[in-house]
Amino acid sequence: MLNDATDALARLLPDGVLRDMAPAYLEEPRGRYKGRAGLIAAPRTVDEVAAIVRACADARVPIVPRGGGTGLVGGQVMPDGTAPLVLSLERMTAIRAIYPEEGVIVAEAGATLHQVRDAAAAVGRQFPLSLASQGTAQIGGVLATNAGGVNVLRYGNARALCLGVEAVLPQGQIMHDLKRLRKDNTGYDIRDLLIGAEGTLGIITAASLVLAPVPAETGVAMLVVDSPEAALSLLSLAQARMAGGVTAFELISGQGLRFLDAAFPTLRQPFADRPDWLVLIEVGLPAGLPVDAALEDLFTDAAEAGLVSDGVIARSGQQAADLWAVREMIPEANRHIGAIASHDISLPLSGVARFIRDCSALLAGMADLRINCFGHLGDGNLHFNLFPAEGRTRDPYDGIRRDLSRAVHQMVVARGGSFSAEHGVGRLKAAELAEWGDPARLAAMRAIKNVLDPAGIMNPGVILA
């Protein structure tokens, strides 16, 4: 696959960084984009990353940084243009240091999220960011996409959990900013500019991350609510009672439960009648407050307020895991059914319930379809996914897929929401960002991209098309 130009570039790279071409370096999970590459490089040190970036900048060869490759918006592949160098962080996997007493871990970009979470647990702390893909997703990618997940409500997105980064900027400069400080106001927030930039402004090679204390008591319940409105009132009540101790607050729809029935007929669901709406709540509480009692009291209050009609409280770790399994198998069930279109959206919390109603009505007027709306309700973050009507295939929807998605995103934007909540923009939503982003903000983004990456080599086509 080498041509003269890539051959010349290959000779400029540090010894031993090149890897054989393999399909895995060119793939993304949903198969929407086919990646291409002239070279695959897997550096072992930040100095090697810098040398590769300098060589590519000189040769004007694009770089596609690659972590675990689990991103869902095509940010890890480059289907068009000059064949890029794919820079895999797979060899930079060290946990460089861990400081249990200060609640900090310093990990290299190629460490998986699972590896960091394990290292934290081994010293009696937790790294609270949790994703379905955590066995494969790497810290560098988690930061580059400012990933979210189920614990954002309490602990924040990836950005909120990062105290410092080491990174290679687009002209090969190494930025040493691996601080472990909770307060540091020494100029512009370059760290947060790299976080969420999806590899277009540089390559994060290591990060210092926040470890949180493990709550003395943890409990999980699944509660039946009449509506998303009731779910949000329940959240308010829970937050008031728990002093911010609500760790996760997930919404599940009856449609999701019926998809589970179809995909996993043997999965035991907690409610025989498949209610229209369920909430999965997890709380982490101080010592001295029995979590069962706290959840029972919450249930009693919520029932008196007419917010919940039924519920189960996990009485063991196994029961808690079983309740979580119901939530976590929904994406798999969705794949089994086969979505027409998926949407990773967020809305101001007080507009979520009305959005679900209004958007469902709008779509019902456009096509006969099923909606599985689920996700991180506590963050206002919904996965609003569209499926064929019962007994139909996806094909008849091909012609309107784009219109359906556009209708969803237009309503989201009109109501102050985001069409890219936790998965990033990547290639998939670059055109929508250009259309719907605030012009002054977009102009600032373009100016920053041009000045930091004048050769335009860092992950071109991602975020800014």
Interface positions, 190-219, toward a second copy (CB under 8 A):
190, 192-193, 195-197, 201, 212-217
CB of 154 to a second copy, least distance (A): 8
Q: Which is nearer to a second copy, 289 or 312 (CB)?
A: 289
Q: Least Å distance between CB 336 and a second copy?
A: 26
Q: Is 171 exposed, middle or buried (0-12, 13-18, 19+ CB in 10 A)?
A: middle
Q: 217-225 and 277-285: which strand pairing?
A: antiparallel
Shortest Cβ distance from residue 395 to a second copy (Å)? 32
| Rounded Cα distance, 452 and 54, in Å | 13
Dihedral angle over CA of 230, 233, 237, 238, nearest 10: 70
CA distance 310 to 321: 19
Among 27, 36, 45, 177, binds a second copy (CB under 8 A): 177
Nearest CB to a second copy, comparing residues 21 and 442: 442
33 backbone φψ class: left, alpha, beta (φ>0; ψ -120 to 50): beta
Question: What does DSSP assign to residue 26?
Answer: G
Q: Which of residues 386-415 bind a second copy (CB under 8 A)?
A: none
| Site for a second copy, residues 223 to 252, rule: CB under 8 A | 232-233, 236, 239-245
Q: Are strands 344-346 and 125-126 parallel, antiparallel or unpaired?
A: unpaired
∠ CA 106-70-249, nearest 5°, is 80
The nearest distance, CB 209 to a second copy, in angstroms, is 13
Q: With CB under 8 A as the contact rule, which of the stretches 2-10, 302-310, 360-368, 449-457 interacts with a second copy?
A: 449-457
How many angstroms separate the CA atoms of 436 and 427, rounded?
Answer: 15
Task: Choose, by CB under 8 A, the member of 189, 261, 368, 403 that binds a second copy.
Answer: 189
Which neighbouring-strand residues pair with 18? Answer: 41
Nearest distance from C-beta of residue 175 to a second copy, angstroms: 4
Tally the C-alpha atoms within 13 A of residue 409's C-alpha that lie toward its C-beta.
20
- Give the residue with the Cβ less far from a second copy, 343 or 376: 376
In the range 368-387, which residues lie near a second copy by CB under 8 A? 376, 378-381
Q: Between residues 96 and 258, which has the closer beta carbon with respect to a second copy?
A: 96
Q: What residues form DSSP beta bridges with 356? A: none
**C-beta of 372 vs 420, nearer to a second copy:** 420
Q: Which is nearer to a second copy, 38 or 148 (CB)?
A: 148
Q: Give the Cα separation of 404 and 158 in Å (integer).
A: 30
Q: Cα separations (Å) of 365 from 128, 316, 355, 368, 404?
A: 41, 45, 15, 8, 11
The pair of structure tokens assigned to 326 is 């119901």
Closest separation in Å from C-beta 346 to a second copy: 5
Chosen residue from 173, 262, 435, 465 binding a second copy by CB under 8 A: 173
Does residue 442 belong to the site contacting a second copy (CB under 8 A)? yes
SS3 state at 309: strand
Using the rule CB under 8 A, is 96 a contact of a second copy?
no
Do the beta carbons of residue 91 and residue 206 sit within 8 Å? Answer: no
Q: How many residues bind a second copy (CB under 8 A)?
A: 103
Single out the residue of 220, 225, 307, 347 in contact with a second copy (rule: CB under 8 A): 347
Nearer to a second copy, 37 or 143 (CB): 143
- Taking the CA atoms of 450, 451, 457 and 459 in sequence, report the sign of the dihedral they define: negative
Binding status of residue 463 toward a second copy by CB under 8 A? yes
Instruction: Give the residue with the Cβ less far from a second copy, 322 or 432.
Output: 432
Residue 241: CB minimum distance to a second copy, A:
4
Window 265-284: residues binding a second copy (CB under 8 A): 284
Asked if 48 interacts with a second copy (CB under 8 A), we say no
Select the span of 10-18, 257-265, 399-407, 434-442 touching a second copy (CB under 8 A): 434-442
Contacts of a second copy in 105-144 (CB under 8 A)? 124
Helices 352-366 and 401-414: angle between axes, nearest 10 degrees:
150
Residue with smaller CB distance to a second copy, 175 or 329 = 175
Specify the stretch interacting with a second copy by CB under 8 A; choose among 262-270, 322-330, 332-340, 435-443.
435-443
**Which of 39, 225, 294, 359 lies at the binding interface for a second copy (CB under 8 A)?**
294
List C-alpha distances in Å: 136 to 111, 129, 185, 314, 380: 9, 14, 34, 29, 26
